Amino acid sequence: MESRLRCGADRLWRSPRGSAQHPAPHLRRPRVRAAQYDWESIARFVVGAFRADAARAGAVSEVTQLVDELCRLSHEFEALWRDNDVHAHGEGVKRLRHPVLGPIELEYSAFAVDGRPDLSMVVYNPVTSSVADRIRFTRRLATNISG
């Protein structure tokens, strides 16, 4: 249980190498921030969803050491964690600045996995047909280049 939550948190708050020896928290990387239209809301949601996922999975005590470590690595994480916000994934629209596609909007819905409170599945769909067309075109282009 803790390893799954740790893996997710590592991707968000540590360096790409996943090592505490290289503290370059993902949420501080300029490229990641630049891809988001409302960075502060996204970061707040990520921390609140992490808190909710840990509670839903019954792993609050298991993630205490991880949270302490993340607070040491990132003052931003520490401030957001102290706010005690809790967020569920639910559904909504994710707005991104994609480096190739430009601005895109994706609807998302999160679903629980029966019998596995530690897992959820999130499905993303383009909001408009033009976004879907741009995604398909880029995918075909990538396939032609690599194939």
pLDDT exceeds cutoff 60 at 19: no
Asked if 15 and 78 sit in the same domain, the reply is: yes
pLDDT exceeds cutoff 80 at 56: no
Q: Which residues of 77-103 are buried (b: 16+ CB within 10 A; e: fewer)?
A: beebbeeeeeeebeeeeeeeeeeeeee
Asked if 45 and 102 sit in the same domain, the reply is: no
The pTM of the full predicted model, rounded to 2 decimals, is 0.55
Asked if 116 and 69 sit in the same domain, the reply is: no
Burial class (CB in 10 A: 0-12, 13-18, 19+), 118: middle
* Residue 127: predicted pLDDT: 95
Q: What is the mean pLDDT of the chain?
A: 77
Question: pLDDT class for 147, splitting at 50, 70, 90?
Answer: low
Asked if 3 and 47 sit in the same domain, the reply is: yes
Residue 125's DSSP bridge partners are 107
